Structure 1
Amino acid sequence: MKKSYYLFNPGRLSRKDNTLKFIPVDEDGKEKKPKYLPVEGVSNLFCFGSLDANSAMYNFLGKNQISVHFFDYYEHYTGSFQPKEYLLAGKMQIEQTQHYQSAKKRQVIAKQFVKGATFNIQKNLKYYQNRDRDVQAYLDRIQEYEKLIEQTQDIETLMGIEGNIRHTYYGAFDEIIKNFKMEGRSKQPPQNEVNALISFGNMICYTLCLDQIYHTQLNPTISFLHEPGYRRYSLALDLAEIFKPILVDRTIFKVLNKKQLQAKDFDVKVNRVVLKESGKKAFIKTFEDRLNETIKHRALKKHVSYKHLVKLECYKLSKHILGINNYKPFKIWW
């Protein structure tokens, strides 16, 4: 089974037969013990330090359908190496573009993204409301915003409603999290530990969605809720809205409330907080455990992982675009 690998140190990546050889480099520039990764077991690489690799290496990665995602020191996503799109189809490209260009068709899909995200957000809040967290006022406010979704006539207004829902939801984090305070959302840069985790987790979720889109016929640059822009895969942003509450936020609540991450795992600077390597590793371990969990799928009548749920979402969107089935977003039912 293929899996993701996370490279926290800078280092050199080379090929040794059908194995990837990674030589980490420490802060003093000294080489550490090499790590070997059998290529058939690698799905993608997440690089949080500088990576030294030549064009032959990237050709090898491309032929084996291995993506490489890059992040800077401050945990910002900076870009990806994606193998040649091996599943892109002309009909899908045309239909996806037409759905974006039609204001009516675009609204239909965009509203479903916001509805799915809002439902999963409320599920999180109800879960903690039933565990003696006083979040009812936040739930009530979100339900009022939710009523406005179907009435919207343009994407800008819809994005405004989504922003209000998300802002209200983040206000409840201080009721849910025991040992840290969020005190409002701050992004660039994150001002405290909770905001640093949100930014880091959202970027990991975004790249997860990008990977799953890559394995379908969808074009990741043509989106419906977020505006397509230069140098970004905006469809991954759309899909991530649905899964951030389930994958990222649940992970944050777990690692903080169970003290899997503590103050020592954060690098606190003036006007900026980032995760140390220990913090990134602890978060990613819990996040990966979450991705590999399985649930009994209602429609498929079999167990599927959370990671596979993201790919299934891509398939549902594809069927909507091709006129086979109307798209309904994933909503957590447990």
Structure 2
Amino acid sequence: METLYLTKDVKIAREHSTLVVIPAAGPRRRVPISGLKHVIVAGEAQLTTAVLGLCGRSEVRVTILDWHGNVTGTFEPKGSPAAGKVRVLQAAAFLDPERRLGFARAFVLGAARNIRANLKYRTYRGNHDIELQLSAIELLMGQIPTAGCVESLMGIEGQIRAYYYEAWARIDSRLDFGARRRRPPNNPLNCLISWFNGLAYSMVRNEIAKTHLDDCISFLHATREARSSLALDLAEIFKPAICDTIIFEAVLRNQMKPDWFHQEEGVCRLAEKGRAETLQLWVRKTEERVQGECSFREIVRQEALAIERDLLGLSEYRPWRRKI
């Protein structure tokens, strides 16, 4: 097991080279540190410096999520430093307006293609009321190669998502969530979008850490302190294929239940049951074979390596696209 997800209020202890997960009620669970790379805590947890020491020596990252799926903090193992050559080349690409714009265009184009693939799949399933939104998205996609700056690309990406979310309600009334609200979400669908986007960010960040890339140097999103901006860049490509697909399936297959959520005073958050069951959907989606080849987790790692190869001048980076 590479990633350990914890959703209940637990204590985490150490026994030799094993993590012991102690819930408030129920049996203890022992997880060998060998093979573990990431612990994601999506509930209240108590742990000791002995646990963090074991994680640090074993190069295991610990990520803390809040009720809405936002990353509130991460324990980073010391690990080995990023390769100096790749870091220098990545910084040079960021400082070169044309190189930076090239990567930014690739990320926006990759996201747009996968958004279009989601909608085209729905038209194949009989949802022809979204042709207007599809046409608008395709017109905007035509502007990506000629966008003259990162800010223009962000504007195009925002318009594409606006048409995309508009199409959701036309696919099925149960997918109508009104305006996009993030911090905090105000209804179940906004809650699920934020939750799964947060999980995608955590997964992408963990896969970038397995390469020589510096996750603080990004090309599309602004580089800020205390943020893995490159993970935000790369996550854009995969959110339609992973996060949105899980939500579509959960809603259209009647898997989403009212008791997944706590709703109060215009704020919606996942209940313990909702966190546990949505994480099951997440694990199933990210670990399944995609297009008969790799899991999404492996594809994300390959995508990060493809960026590294481009920086090294070995091959041009081309964003991953979902097959319809």
User: TM-score w.r.t. structure 2 length?
Assistant: 0.95
Q: Which segment is superposed worse, 141-150 or 104-113?
A: 141-150
Q: How does 1:149-228 map to 2 (within 5 A)?
A: 149-177=144-172, 179-228=174-223
Structure 1 residue aligned with 2:52: 58
- The 5-angstrom pairing of residues 113-132 of structure 1 reads 113-132=107-126
SS in 2 for 1:172: helix
* Aligned-partner Cα distance in 2 for 1:168–1:180: 14
Q: Give 1:263 shift.
A: 1.7
Identity %: 31
Residue 102 of structure 1 aligns to which amino acid in structure 2? D
Is the 1:96–1:321 Cα contact (8 Å) retained in structure 2?
yes
Shift of 1:7: 1.3
Q: In the aligned structure 2, how far is the partner of 1:218 from the partner of 1:200?
A: 26
Larger RCO (CA within 8 A; separation ≥ 6): 2
Q: Which runs of 5+ in 2 are unaligned?
A: none
State the match for 1:234 in structure 2.
229
Is the CA contact (8 Å cut-off) linking 1:177 and 1:253 kept in structure 2?
no
The answer as to whether partners of 1:87 and 1:215 remain within 8 angstroms in 2 is no
Q: By how many angstroms is 1:224 displaced?
A: 0.3
Query: How do 1:287-302 residues align onto structure 2 when only pairs under 5 Å count?
Result: 287-295=282-290
2:80 corresponds in structure 1 to 86
Among 139, 143, 150, the alignment partner of 1:144 is: 139
SS in 1 for 2:144: coil
Name the counterpart of 2:253.
258
Q: Deviations over 1:126-155 (max 9, x none)?
A: 000111212111101111111111121111
Name the aligned partner's letter for residue 162 of structure 2: H
1:278 aligns with 2:268: no
Note if 1:317 corresponds to 2:307: yes
Q: How many residue pairs end up in the alignment?
A: 323
Query: Matches of 1:32 and 1:296 in 2, distance apart?
Result: 38
1:85 to 1:17, Cα distance in 2 relative to 1, 3 A: closer
Residue 41 of structure 1: how far off its partner (Å): 4.0
Per-residue deviation, 1:247: 0.5
The separation in 2 between residues aligned to 1:66 and 1:192, in whole angstroms, is 34
1:22-33 matched pairs, under 5 angstroms:
22-25=21-24, 32-33=26-27
Which deviates the most, 37-46 or 143-152?
37-46
8 Å CA contact retained: 1:75, 1:274? no
Please name the residue that 2:242 is paired with: 247
CA-atom RMSD in angstroms:
1.5
Given that 1:190 and 1:199 are in contact with CA atoms closer than 8 Å, whether structure 2 keeps it comes out as: yes
Contact 2:42 2:275 in 1 (8 A): no
CA distance in 2: counterparts of 1:143 and 1:200, whole angstroms: 28
- Asked whether the equivalents of residues 221 and 235 of structure 1 are also in contact (C-alpha less than 8 Å), the reply is yes
- Structure 1's unaligned 5+ residue stretches are 26-30, 298-302
**Paired amino acid for 1:55:** T
